[in-house]
Structure 1
Amino acid sequence: MAKEAEKTGPLCHYAVTSLAKNNFRVVTVTMYNPHVKDEEVRAFLGRYMDNVSSARYLRDSLGFWNGRRGFQALLRESLKSVDGYLHPPAMFSLGADRGTLYYARQPPFCRRCMAYGHILASCSAKKCRFCGSEEHEAKECDEPKACHGCGSKVHLWRDCPARHRSYASAAGGGAGDGGRKERTRADCTDGTGEKKAREEDGKKEEMRRMRREEGKSGKEEKEKKAEERKGAVKG
C-alpha cells in the first residue's frame, strides 16, 4: 500500500525505504578440524559475502562446543544465480581441512558439480568442480589448482596472504605451519642471523664441554673412593 501511494500525497513528500534486508544470512560453518582459525574461515566467506562478522561458537544443551561456528553476513547480488544472490559453496576445503556450511533459504546444492539449483541425484552434467570445464571430471583435471582462500592461481592455501599466521609460525620461519619449519641461517634476513647462529653453536659447545668435564670429575671421584675402600679393607 505504501508503494502504491508513494506518488500521491501525503506520502509523496517522504522517501519510503524498506528496512528488511533480504540478503542477510546467519551462516553456520562446521570444520572437521576444530583447530582451523576463525580468521581463515572469515577470509573464505569474504570471497562470496560482505560484512562477515566475528565467529560465535555454538554449544549444545550441556554447554559444550559442538564444533560449529556462526557468522552473520550479507549475500552479494548475482544475475547468474538462481535467486539473484551469490552463494558460497556448501562444501569447501581450506588446504587439507574440509568443511560445510548452511543457512536459511539456501538453494539446493550438488556435491558433484559444486553448483546450486539441483542435488546430486538429479545431476547429469559432467563438470569439473576445480576449473568448471564440462570436458572432464575433477579426477582428470590437470589445470593449476586455485587457492581455497582467495581463489588466486598464483599460490596455494598454505602460502595465501589472507591466512592468519600464528606467533609460533612467524618465529619459526614457516608460513602457517605452526612453527614446524626449522629456522635456518638463510631465513634470517635482518643481518643478525649469522651472529645468532654462531652464538647458539657456541653455547651448545660450552654445554657439551661442561658435561664432559663433569663426567670426568665424577669418574675420578668414584675411582678415588674405590681405592680408599680397598685400602680400608686391607688395613
Structure 2
Amino acid sequence: TEKYQAKMKSEALKNYNCTGLLRDDMHIIMLNLYDPFIPEVDVTTFLCRYLDVQKVIRRIGDKWRIWNGKTQFLVTLRRNNAEADGFDHPPAIFTIGSGRRYLFYRGQPSFCRKCWGVRHTEADCPPKTCRKCGQEGHLVVDCKADLVCNLCGKLGHLYRACPNKARSFASVAS
C-alpha cells in the first residue's frame, strides 16, 4: 500500500482517482427513460432520493447518434446495515410524471413488478399489496392515501406541481 500511495501522489497520476474492483457501493446504472421531455435534472433529483449520483456518464444513441432513451449514471449506493447486502437500492421500475421508467445495474436485487418491492418477485408477492402506500389489503386503485409526488416523495402534490421540478422556458415565460 505504501508503493500505491507513492504512485498516486506522483505527477503522472495526480489527476486520476483509482478505485478498487471490489468497491461494492459504486455502480454504473442504466436508465430507460423513453421520454425526451423529462429533464435530466428531474431524473437526477429522483435518483438522489435513493443514492448519490456522481455524474451522468452518457446518453446512449443508435448508429446515427440519435438518443434511444437510455442514459448511464455513475452512482454510489447508500449504506444501510438493516439490508442483507448493507446498501439501499433504488426501485427497478418507477414513474416520473405519467410514464414508467426502468433502471438496472450489476448486482441489483430481485424486484417485484406487482408491488414494486425489493428482494422478492411477483410469485412471492403478498396478495393485494399497494405500490402507492406499501400496505397490504388493497391495490393502488382503492388506495385512500394522500397524493404523493413521484419526483420528491413528499405528500400533498403531484409531479406536475412539484416545487423541485425543473422549470421549462415556456413555464417561466408565462
TM-score, scaled to structure 1: 0.61
> Which structure has greater helix proportion?
1
- Find the structure with the greater CA-based Rg: 1
Q: Cα gap change, 1:94/1:170 in structure 2, threshold over 3 Å: closer, same or farther? A: same
Partner of 2:78, secondary structure, is: strand
What is the one-letter code of the residue matched to 1:92? F
What is the one-letter code of the residue matched to 1:152? K
What is the one-letter code of the residue matched to 2:173? A
Q: Which runs of 5+ in 1 are unaligned?
A: 3-17, 173-235
Alpha carbons 1:57, 1:65 under 8 Å: kept: yes
- Of 79, 83, 107, the match for 1:77: 79
Q: What is the Cα deviation at residue 22 of structure 1?
A: 1.3
Q: What is the Cα deviation at residue 40 of structure 1?
A: 0.7
Aligned to 1:131: 133
Alpha carbons 1:56, 1:70 under 8 Å: kept: yes
- Of 94, 97, 100, the match for 1:98: 100
Partner of 1:29, secondary structure, is: strand
Q: What is the Cα deviation at residue 62 of structure 1?
A: 4.7
5 Å-filtered alignment, 1:1-235, equals: 19=20, 20-54=22-56, 56-172=58-174
Q: Which has the higher contact order (CA 8 A, sep 6+)?
A: 2
Q: % of aligned pairs identical?
A: 37
Alpha carbons 2:126, 2:136 under 8 Å: kept: no
Q: What is the Cα deviation at residue 159 of structure 1?
A: 1.6
Q: What is the Cα deviation at residue 120 of structure 1?
A: 1.3
- What root-mean-square deviation, in Å, do the aligned CA atoms of Structure 1 and Structure 2 show? 2.0
Task: Output the CA distance in 2 between the equivalents of 1:62 and 1:171.
Answer: 34
How big is each residue's C-alpha offset from its partner over 1:20-73, in whole Å with a ceiling of 9 and x where there is no partner? 531101111111322211001001000001134236211234533221011111
Task: Output the CA distance in 1 between the equivalents of 2:128 and 2:82.
Answer: 20
Alpha carbons 1:33, 1:98 under 8 Å: kept: no
Alpha carbons 1:111, 1:119 under 8 Å: kept: yes
Alpha carbons 2:127, 2:137 under 8 Å: kept: no
